[in-house]
Structures are given as structure tokens and as C-alpha cells.
Structure 1
Amino acid sequence: MRRRQAGPVEAARPVGRSGEGQGRVASGVAHGNWLTRGKDGRLTLYAPADGGLLRWTETTAGGPDWSGPHFVAVPGLTQLTVVQGADGYVHFLGRRERTKADGSPNVDIVHAIQYQTGLAFTDWRSLGTPHPDGDVGRPAGAVAQDGTVHVFVRGGHGGLMLRREAPNGKWRAWEDLHGGGLDGPPAVVVLASGRMEVCAAAGTGVLIWRQSAPGGDFGGPRGFSLRAAPGTLAAAETAPDRATFFWTEADSGVAAAWRIGGWPAMLGGSAAERPYAVLRTDLDGYDCLVLAYRDQDGSPVLGMGGTENEEAGFWWYALAEPCQGGPALARDGRGRVVMALIDPDGTPKVARQEDGAGLSLTHWHRL
């Protein structure tokens, strides 16, 4: 596996002075896995803020106390996506928009890394853009098992564009993966075999790109006559080298789970506004999937069911707790399910799995 090297200062210095982010609040919700667990078992929560992003970190694995917020300045940041690799490194992908001297927008995709829980970010590096006129969507990302970062964006032609690292750490040029009519960013999953699969919704149905081997080219897109609501796609590996894709079914407005070669299974629930948060975990000795989303009334909904056992039913629980954007899911250092939200006032809050059978959550803790 290719190993990254952090500089001697970046590896030892925390972000800013203690309390630097005090008084700041989140301006929205990040995309991707914005609630991460480090190698030391501590959780970290990230959220966009005016002029950059905010970070809160557990002081000990399993909580309940958190430090932060710490503020990281990223002038011009308009979209933030967080992804984490198997090595524990957290990667930040952003859409940055600044103004040129002539008043026209200058848009690019930027990337930074946090190597260790609670410590500094690397410098933000520009990855450019496949469309200099600024017509580029929110970035989606994934980290391959060898640590190479893959960045996907919807291009100005409505298809999918990719920029990825080479094994030597240098960035390749933008690649056109083709397709057209994409309604939003794709869902990307890294499988245990090392391959990636990408799913996107389009006006004509659902499009799939697949790697034939780890690090290889992406074949596709292959189209399927399925109706996924734009902006609701998520993905998870649910069996060795097999992905399940989740979305809100456009016609019925309920959650659906689908694997290549089969028909979508309707899971119930209500219509989601953004991608589902997906967590595979053990509940009472059973291999289960936990889903969470924000419904159209602005409240979070939590659901659970057996992994690849949709016919046995899926159970949903509406939570009377307003939030903006979608929720996040993770397991803490004690293995408990943790759900995170951003309150409408910009304050994050978390609830943890209570002891006992099933999945019930504690009272919300505001950070």
C-alpha cells in the first residue's frame, strides 16, 4: 500500500488555537461521511461554515465530551464532501468559487487531508476543473484500498468526470467517463476486492460504472430503466464484492434497495431529500443495515433491517428533532451506533445507541 507522508509540522500541530472556532456555527451540512472514526476510536464531526469549515472531536473514545469547534479557513468554499480511507486518513473535497479581476467566477475543486484525529490539515491543493467556465457540480469521492483518491463530478455536458491519483501519488488528468443527463452527484462504493462501483441517477434511468479490477479503468455506463429520485443515492457493500444501492423511488416516494441483477426492493419510509446515510453493523447478533435520512418535513428518520434480507421487512422511526441537511451515522469507539445532525441554528448534536436489545437512541447532546 502506498503510504502518504505528512510534513513534520503538519503531523504534530493541532488546527489553530483552542477555542478559535468559538462563536461560529455551521452554515449547512457536508456531504459524504462527515462523522468519522479515527484509528484511536475517537469520532470527529465536520461541517461547512462561512469562509471554511468547523471540526468537533471527541476528547476520549466513546465520549461523551467533545472539543471544538475548531475553524479551518477555506475562502470561497461552496460545497464540502468528506471521505475516509481504510487507513483512517480523512479527505476533504470542496468546490471553491472565487472572483477573477474581470468579475467572472473562477471555480475549481480543492483537496486536503487530515492524517490523524484532532491534528492539522495539509494545505488545500487545487485539482482544477474539467470545465473552466465553472459549470461543474458538487464533488463526490472515494479512497481506494491502496490510498489513492478518486474525485467524481458531473461535467458541463451532463456526464461523469473523474480525476484520480496514480500509484506514485501524482494526479492524473481529468477522465471523461461519459454518460449524460445526470441529475446529481453519484454514489461510490469501494468493495473488499478493491474494485469501485459508481451509481448515478439520470433522466433516462440509473447508470452504473464498474471497475473490472482494482486500479483499473471504469467500464460503462450501463443503463437500467429504474426511477431514482435525484440527489438521494447511497451505496454500501452488503456481501463480498457486491454492492447494494439505495435511493428514494421517484414514483412511490419510498426508500428502495437494489443490486445489479435483481429488482428494487421497496423498504417503505417516506421521501428523502438528500442521500441516505448507510451503516452496516451488528444488532443483537444479526448483520443489519441502518439507514437515516431527512424527510420533506425537515425531521430525521432512522430505519433498520437485515442486510440483504429486505423481504423480512424494514423498520422506520421518525425522530421529533428538526435538522438541516441529512444526518450522519457512525460507530463509536465502543461499537455503538451514533447519529449526528446539524440543528437549524447551525449547532451539531449527537445521540448514541442505548444499552440493551434493538436500536434505541439516547437523548440528544448538543456540541
Structure 2
Amino acid sequence: MPLARRHFLLAALLPVFTVGATGVLAIATGEQTSAEATQDGNPATALPASVTAGSVVQVVAHPDDDLFFMNPDLSRTLAGATGTPGTPGTPGTTLTTVYLTSGEADGRNEARGGGAWDPEQPADRAHYAEARQNGIRAAYAQMATGDRTSVWKRTAIPTEGGGFAELDVLVARPEVNLVWLQLREARNPTADNPDSLRGLWHGKIPALGAQLSSGSPVKQPYAYTKDQVVRAIAGILARYRPTTIRMQDPSPGRYPETGKYTDHQDHMYGARFVQAATAAYADRITDRPRFTVQSYLGYHNGSLPHSLDPQTAETKIGFLKTYAWHDRENHCGSPSGCGDRKVAGSPTGRNWAQSLRYARGDNASWLTAGTPGRLWAFAALDGRMAVWTREGTPGRWTGPALLPGGGIDPGASTARFPDGRIAVLATRTTLHPDYRREVVYAVQTAPDGPFGPWQSLDTPETADDEGTSAISAPAGAASPDGRLTVYVRDSRRTLRAREQQPDGTFGPWQQLGGEDLQGDPATATDSAGRLHLYATTGKTVLGWIRPAPGAPLQGPFPTGLPTTTVPLTVAPEGAGIRLYFRRPDSGVVRTALVTAGNGGKPQASSVSEAGGRAGYGAVGVAGRTLSGRATTGTVSTTGLGGPPAWTESKMLYAGAPAGVLEQAGAATTAVLGLDAELHITTTTPGRPRPIWHRAVAPPQP
């Protein structure tokens, strides 16, 4: 085994699990315990130390989508998974992956450029589907146990859709499950083939049949209607009671030049079936844990800079080689073959394996300060907006309270009005009668008061024939006279804005230019009252500046900043705005101060390393305290200009971290754990050591 790979596996297995006197399984973090916090006299920290606990359910279209697009999140979760799947209250993390289709393609198991594994065997979709299953089982066994030949128990189970699924349980790690619905795939990334998930979604066929693998314990053929697919997925969710649901991107958009989808149609429409199933599960099952949803970017990763450091990418590619049966050793004993030889010719895919990106929920503006001493946090739970608040310093947190109305997508952001009221902004997906996404916001009726109803700003997408709805999460800013402006990236990757008028109504969506915009726009206001907005492209960062309240937003202007991995965080700093981003092929956090130069154009300082080393995803900022994913995937902290290494918590989480620098100098950082609970840490100049704990104490039994 290469040295870099051994190092990665050791790092991935770093979390150490210990059982205390109460029998609760907790991660040994080396951080302050609840008793130590109580001795400090801070009631806000007199809570149990954060633990990794919950149920993760991943749903993908094809075998290998999880390996290409959800790893290393997948391997990090497997490294820390313990417990018994489907058992309420069991501590630890369980992981289940659901495959919607068999991925049978043309039935030829061969590497690119030719070289079938068995040239005497003709094309056979049942055997190729089985080979892909064998490859997936080997890759998961390797990630979970270090032994790709670790034994699986394979059984057939009925589904709530009226058909059957194959259930594979890893005998050595029974908390790791694979579920195969084995539906027919589209057999083409973009062609309008009616016999597909896309055709079923749009009613072009009454039902979609199964493509059973040759070795499956499921022997009886079946077909699902659109409603039955939804019910089958919802039933699997009910079986495993997830606290985190991972899915592919339901609205990847199209390439402006060609009009083709930027992702495989099965990825896109499979994700829409998952959206429908999560909504049905949330409505039908009331006695369940709350859940959050994380969606992952697919093929579009191949056109963007690498987001993973070389060591992490190497290990990820190693798992893909196991899946691809790269060594051709007959370790599975199956006549169908031991992996997917189509991937063997290019285990990085089309430049996919070197990155992981979230399609939504990767911005760091969901935690904000209200009136003095009050903090507010927002996240989508159960398809609704959850609200937590802390009153006073240090104070105690309460929540989550769920705002009325469903369909809320991951990726909340906030805007603060001059009187202290808070607005929460999001996008909302409507599934019926047509699939569409719109921008919505809700505002407090008074400072620290309740939130009013959701108000819709519709969408800048006016010609959306199949509802691609590929708009970003919104960013918002309130003017000194209390008017809200909302900014989004549209599906053509340009910036759009809708501004509130003096009478409270909103004007039309404006075109603000830019091209090749990626991710979510980010806003902040400097000490002179100038509004700054920044957005990344595939090569640099573009900026817009409003020089004075009431003046039009000017831009886009080039900043001269280098290529980033896309997620961008901004924070006011004196007469300018400090930007935080990650370096491609490295993950190191970088920063630059941008001020309004001659003519109001952004002028960026030289780029410097901010502290921390490797990792991926957005960076949270609270004064000089930075937070983000370290290379092990855990939420970690460092100081601006601090040591290269992160201070790790050993806690995995969903979405992005967020931070607030409070008036007294305290830095509060928050994440949403895989348990769908809000976890926080507050550091002060005299006590910089991070202490992660649940914001709200769990209910007493």
C-alpha cells in the first residue's frame, strides 16, 4: 500500500469511540467535558460534549455515483459509523446507500479503449449489473473494514412500491447497508429515451421496469409507476429513519452554449424522485427524527478546478479502482466479474474524482446577530426552515422552531435590517403540477419577534421548458432605509437582482452581468456603507460595489484574484471586505482584503494563507476564528494567520460552518451535525480553546 494511502486510512480512522458510565457512545475529542464546562461557570457550555450520532441515507442513480461524487464524505462517514441500523435511539452513525437503477448500460463490461474482461462472453446486461454490484460491495468493504473481500449477507425485501429490493448487509459492520431497487437506467446521459426515470417523471410511460442483476436474490420481475417509485424510496427512508439524506443534484442546469444538461439525466431525475420521497416521508411519518438534506454536484465537477488535495484524491481514486476491478483478480468468485471494467480505463472519470462539491447549502451566512446579545441560526430540516435563537451572552439556545410551509431547499442565508430585524432567505421547490424553484424570504415582524409568512420573489428563469430551475441560493442585503435587495446566480451563470421599492413591492429581476458564475453570490457592507458583492468563476472572482446607499450596483469588475475551489465567504474588515476561499489541488484556506479603489472598483491585496491545511468546502468566519472541514472531513478551527494544522473536533457535519464575532469579542461558530442538531462553539480572547456541544440540550428520558 502506498505511503500516502496508509496515511489517509489512519487519518480517516482517527475518531476513537468510548462508552461512558451512561452507556452513551461518544467521540473522544480531547475537548472539555460537560463537567469541566460547568466548573467554568458558563451555563451556555454546561451541555454534553458533541457526539457523532445519526443515520445517513444516500440515494444515487447508478452504482459508482456515490464513489465519484459523494466521496470522501462517504468514506469519512464509514470510518466513524457504529450502531445498529434502523434502531431508534442507538448511538453512533449508520450508513445506507440506495441505488435506484442497475446501471446496466449496454451490458458490455469493458475498459475504455477495448479489452473486455472476458472476450468470449457476449453483451449481457444482467451480468454487467451484477459485476457493478460486486465492485460496489468490494469498495464499501474496503472503506469500512480495510478488506475488500469482507462478507455481505444478500436478501430480498418487499418495498412499499409493490416490488422488491435487494438488501446487502456487511456482516463485519452490520450498520453498513446497500439497497438495490434495480430499475432500468436511461442508457444514455442526455437522449430523450421514454423508458427511463425521466420518461416516468414526465408521464411518457406508465411504469418503469426492473433490470435484475444475474446474482440477485430478487428473482421476480416488477415495474413501478411514478407514485410507486416515490413510495418505494419513502419506505426505505422509513426503515432507516435518516437524520441526514444525501442525494444528487435535482437541478444541474444546462450548458449555455449547447443547451445540454450539465449532468446525467438519471442523476437529475433520480434526485427529483428523492425530493418527492423525502416530502412524502416527512408528511407521512411523524414519530421520527428530523433530517437534513445534502445534494452533490455531478458531472459539472469535471469543468471546475480540483477541490481535493492530492493525497485525499489518491485514496478516493484507489476505492474507485477497487470498484473498477482494476487488478482483475478474481477475489469475488462471481461468473459476472468482480467490478466495473468501464471505469477501469479511467478511474478518475472525466476529471470528477479529484473533487467534491455540494450543489446547495455551501454558504456560511446562515448564522447572524440580531439585537445586542441575540443570535439566530437557520437550516432546512424536514423540508422546512428551522430557526434557533440565543438570547443574551452567554445565554441559552432554544429551538428548533419550524416555520410553516414545506419545499424549502438547503442553503439558507440572512439579511439584517437597520432596526435589528432579521430576514431569512432561501429557495423553495414545488413538485406539482410542474417542477420549479423560486426565491422566498421571511422577515421578523419586530426585532427579536416572530417571523412573518414566506413571501415569493418568483424566479428569473422565464423560459424553463423542463424546470431545470438551476438558480443559486439567494444572498440579501438591506439598505439603511430598510429596503431589501436579493441576488441570485441564474441558470446562464450571470448575476440577477430584485430590489424592494419604497412602497414595499419589488421591481422586476435585473440583469447585473458576469459570466461563468459558480456557486452562491456573497455580500457584505464595509465601514463606509458600501455594499460589496462577490462571485466566483471557474478562473477568478468577480466583484460588484454599490458606492452609496440608493446608488446602482456597479460591476462586474475583475478582482485579479486567483482560481478558487468555488465556495466563497466574505466578512467586513475596516474600509474593505475580506474574502476567504480555498486553493485548488490543496484545500488550504487563502484570504485577500478587497477595498473600493479608484472609481469604486474592487482592489484586492495580495493573497495570503489564512491558517489550516487541506480539506474542502466553505469556510466559516468569526473575527479571526476560521472554521471548516479538515482533510478528515471533521469540523475544525484555526486562527487567521494561525498554524498550518486545524484544531479538529472529530465531528462530521452537513453543509457549511458559519460564524459570528460578537460585540464583546466572543467568536461563536455553528454547524449542523449529521444528527441534524445544531452544534456550536464559542471562544473568547482569554479562552481560545474550542468546546463543541449541542446548542440545545437533548430532552430528558
- Structures share a fold, TM > 0.5? yes
Mapped to 1, the partners of 2:547 and 2:644 lie a distance apart of: 32
Greater strand percent: which structure?
1
Confirm or deny that 1:135 pairs with 2:467: no
Structure 1 residue 92: Cα displacement: 1.4
Contact preservation (8 Å) 1:227, 1:251: no
- Partner residue of 1:342 out of 647, 662, 672: 672
Which amino acid counterpart does residue 221 of structure 1 have in structure 2? P
Q: Which residue of 2 aligns with 1:265?
A: 608
Give CA-to-partner distance per residue, 1:300-334, whole Å, 9 cap, x none.
121223xxxx5x97884222222222222225686
Q: Which residue of 2 aligns with 1:124?
A: 454
Contact preservation (8 Å) 2:540, 2:564: no
Structure 1 residue 225: Cα displacement: 4.5
Q: Which residue of 1 aligns with 2:62?
A: none
- Partner residue of 1:75 out of 406, 410, 421: 406
- Partner residue of 2:584 out of 211, 231, 250: 250
**1:291 aligns to what SS in structure 2?**
strand
Give CA-to-partner distance per residue, 1:265-288, whole Å, 9 cap, x none.
1224234533322222xxxxxxxx
Mapped to 2, the partners of 1:145 and 1:315 lie a distance apart of: 41
More divergent stretch after superposition (127-136 vs 172-181): 127-136
Contact preservation (8 Å) 2:671, 2:678: yes
Confirm or deny that 1:362 pairs with 2:691: yes
- Kindly tell me the number of residue pairs found equivalent between the two proteins: 329
Mapped to 2, the partners of 1:34 and 1:261 lie a distance apart of: 26
Q: Which residue of 2 aligns with 1:9?
A: none
- Partner residue of 1:95 out of 419, 427, 432: 427
Mapped to 2, the partners of 1:145 and 1:275 lie a distance apart of: 29
Mapped to 2, the partners of 1:227 and 1:161 lie a distance apart of: 24
**1:123 aligns to what SS in structure 2?**
coil
Which amino acid counterpart does residue 476 of structure 2 have in structure 1? G
Which amino acid counterpart does residue 397 of structure 2 have in structure 1? W
Mapped to 1, the partners of 2:475 and 2:625 lie a distance apart of: 22
Q: Structure 2 vs 1, CA of residues 232 and 332 (structure 1 numbering), >3 Å: closer, same or farther?
A: same
Contact preservation (8 Å) 1:93, 1:109: yes
Contact preservation (8 Å) 1:292, 1:327: yes
Structure 1 residue 46: Cα displacement: 2.0
- Partner residue of 1:194 out of 510, 529, 546: 529
Q: Structure 2 vs 1, CA of residues 295 and 330 (structure 1 numbering), >3 Å: closer, same or farther?
A: same
Q: Structure 2 vs 1, CA of residues 291 and 160 (structure 1 numbering), >3 Å: closer, same or farther?
A: same
Structure 1 residue 344: Cα displacement: 0.7
Confirm or deny that 1:304 pairs with 2:639: yes
Could you say which structure has the larger radius of gyration?
2
Q: Which residue of 1 aligns with 2:336?
A: none
Mapped to 2, the partners of 1:338 and 1:238 lie a distance apart of: 17
Report percent identity of matched pairs: 25
- Partner residue of 2:552 out of 217, 224, 230: 217
1:134-173 aligned at under 5 Å gives the runs 134-173=469-508
1:318-329 aligned at under 5 Å gives the runs 318-329=648-659
Q: Structure 2 vs 1, CA of residues 143 and 357 (structure 1 numbering), >3 Å: closer, same or farther?
A: same
Mapped to 1, the partners of 2:630 and 2:508 lie a distance apart of: 38
In structure 2, runs of 5+ residues without a counterpart are 1-285, 295-360, 594-602, 697-701
Mapped to 1, the partners of 2:457 and 2:570 lie a distance apart of: 25
**1:180 aligns to what SS in structure 2?**
coil
Contact preservation (8 Å) 2:591, 2:609: yes
TM-score by length of 2: 0.43
Contact preservation (8 Å) 1:40, 1:117: no
Which amino acid counterpart does residue 44 of structure 1 have in structure 2? W
Mapped to 1, the partners of 2:499 and 2:573 lie a distance apart of: 25
Give CA-to-partner distance per residue, 1:111-143, whole Å, 9 cap, x none.
111245663211111101110322322212222
More divergent stretch after superposition (186-195 vs 289-298): 289-298
Q: Structure 2 vs 1, CA of residues 130 and 114 (structure 1 numbering), >3 Å: closer, same or farther?
A: same
Structure 1 residue 364: Cα displacement: 1.7
Greater helix percent: which structure?
2
Which amino acid counterpart does residue 164 of structure 1 have in structure 2? E
Q: Which residue of 2 aligns with 1:53?
A: 385
